[in-house]
Structure 1
Amino acid sequence: MASETTTTTDHDEIRRWVEAHGGRPASVSGTENAEGAGVLRIDFPGGAGTDQLDHIGWDEWFAKFDQENLALLYQQEKADGSDSTFHKLVSR
């Protein structure tokens, strides 16, 4: 069975998916500036990322998300049918 991905810009859909998987909105430490959040990330428990992350609010995260014309590509489940937190922030 192939794994399927979904790409969305819908704030409610993104928030629901992230929170359903225990994730939190974040930015990479040291990348923020006077205009707000820096490089965006989603922090999931046990994530393998090496970046130091600062948790930020959804309003700040989505402001940067929209400003940068991003979309979220995410995987509902792995090819074996198990739950997945695979995601990428991509250009719209």
Structure 2
Amino acid sequence: MSESKTTTDHDEIRQWAEDRGGRPAAIRTKGEGGILRIDFGEPEEEFEAIEWDEFFRIFDENNLAFLYQDETGGGKTSRFNKFVDRNQKG
């Protein structure tokens, strides 16, 4: 059974992403920052590669948490992730 976890730990997020070949990215918006994503190399024109420092600045400024899975229900390495409000329950 796959289990989702939530963290705000920068090192844990970075390690999870890099273990799966992921890199920090943003989709730029009209305001400051942008919408954060982990880019796994699939062609997505709107993704802009950013450095981890900028990624975590946006992450913290927007009071985000990282929701992720280590493995799929079948036991394979999972890339499932999304960003949620730190104050969101469940």
TM bin, normalised by shorter chain, reads: 0.7 to 0.9
Q: CA RMSD in A?
A: 1.7
Aligned CA distance change for structure 1 residues 86 and 51 (closer, same or farther; 3 Å): farther
Cα deviation code 1:26-53 (max 9, x no counterpart):
001x4164x4x21111111337xx6610
Aligned with 1:60 (options 32, 49, 54)? 54
Letter in structure 2 aligned against 1:43: D
Distance 2:59 2:53 in 1: 10
TM-score by length of 2: 0.87
Instruction: Tell me the SS of whatever aligns to 2:74.
Output: coil
- Which ranges in structure 2 are unaligned for 5 or more consecutive residues? none
Aligned with 1:79 (options 63, 73, 77)? 73
Instruction: Tell me the SS of whatever aligns to 2:18.
Output: helix
Regions of 4+ moved over 2 Å: none
- Which ranges in structure 1 are unaligned for 5 or more consecutive residues? none
TM-score by length of 1: 0.85
Which residue matches 2:20? 21
Q: What is the aligned-residue identity percentage?
A: 53
Count of residues in Structure 1 that have an aligned counterpart in Structure 2: 86
Aligned with 2:34 (options 33, 38, 55)? 38
Assess if the C-alpha contact under 8 Å between 1:3 and 1:77 holds in 2. Answer: yes
